[in-house]
Structure 1
Amino acid sequence: MLSKKTQYAFKALIYLAQHQNNGPVLIAEIARKKNIPLKFLENILLELRKAGILESKKGKGGGYLFKNPPSTIPLAKVMRTVEGPIALLPCVSLNFYEKCKDCQEEICGLNKVMIEVRDASLKILEGKTVADLAMLE
């Protein structure tokens, strides 16, 4: 299940994508229009900026905007930035692997099924972009 934080991140990115031709967008505007707590949104947008998804401009006419076109930002990158692992078990995660306690991966049926789930999810999340969410294309 997506956390509130990830849901808010996607809502903010959709809003930014739909308004990208208007220049930088103020955090307060996004928070108000998408009903996201301002302080929470500030932290989310900062994470997205640090990950190279967004950039910010200071001063008059400042705000947040995309560093690259929304059509080049896979949903998987956003989820990993905000949420962490996409896999449902740590033992099948590609980027955040951890061995499960008391488990023998080589004979674990759950591990095998969760690899299939991970691969199917990643195929979709890597193939869809922020522009797809914002229905820009």
Structure 2
Amino acid sequence: MWQRGRDGHRSSTDRKGASSKARREPARVLPILKISPRVDYAIRILVDLATRPTGWRAQARGIACRQNIPPAFLYKVLKRLQASGYIDVRRGRKGGVRLIRPADRITLLDVAQSLEGPLVLHPCPHPEACALHELWSRIEADLCAWMACQTIADLAMRERKRGDLSRGSQGGSIGPEFAQAPPEFPR
């Protein structure tokens, strides 16, 4: 049975009078390219550190809170970033996490490949017989070229320009506790 809804569009109703519109679930969005949580968290950690004054040691707990990263996962990612030579992690009272490579020398491609290996969008078992192989290869090459041009310093600069110091609980930005830099570091 069809009927017109309040919005003027027709919708079917079942025997009990429930509209099919109301029963329909929202369409799922399936990503074509999905960045792994490990790479996403690693980039967010590095940007968080790059927004700090040079040499500043951030507490791991603070990074986890500001970036909304589960602490157990944070420590695994920190270990991988340290093994890749991006950060230094010290434990103890005067410890913390700091960048040891300049942020302008760390590209998104470097980070992704150091954590996940080569970037492959669509592994093709038969490249010579696959009609889409050339298309996927071109998209992959373009994406790698773009990621190789984007640095952690670029992202940190965008983060600073946004000046959004209140998003700490949502992740992706420095938290409000860093709105005032310590007196020994110029702002």
TM-score with structure 2 setting the length: 0.62
What is the 5 A alignment of 1:10-49?
10-21=43-54, 23-49=56-82
Deviations 1:3-36 (CA, angstroms, capped at 9, x unpaired): 2222211111111110143621111110011111
Among 102, 106, 111, the residue aligned to 2:133: 111
Among 81, 85, 91, the residue aligned to 2:118: 85
CA distance in 1, matches of 2:83, 2:70: 20
CA distance in 2, matches of 1:72, 1:13: 12
* Higher RCO (CA-CA < 8 Å; seq separation 6+): 1
Provide closer, same or farther for how the CA distance between residues 13 and 87 of structure 1 changes in structure 2, counting only shifts above 3 A: same
Which residue number in structure 2 is paired with residue 124 of structure 1? 146
> How much has 1:81 moved relative to structure 2?
2.2
Which of 1 and 2 has greater Rg?
A: 2
Going by fraction, where is helix more abundant, 1 or 2?
1
Regions of 4+ moved over 3 Å: none
CA distance in 2, matches of 1:78, 1:90: 21
Equivalent position SS for 1:88: coil
Unaligned stretches of 5+ in structure 2?
Answer: 1-33, 161-187
CA distance in 2, matches of 1:118, 1:55: 32
What amino acid maps onto 2:98 in structure 1? L
TM-score with structure 1 setting the length: 0.82
Deviations 1:45-100 (CA, angstroms, capped at 9, x unpaired): 11011011112223322111112110000110111122333220235xxxxxxxx2
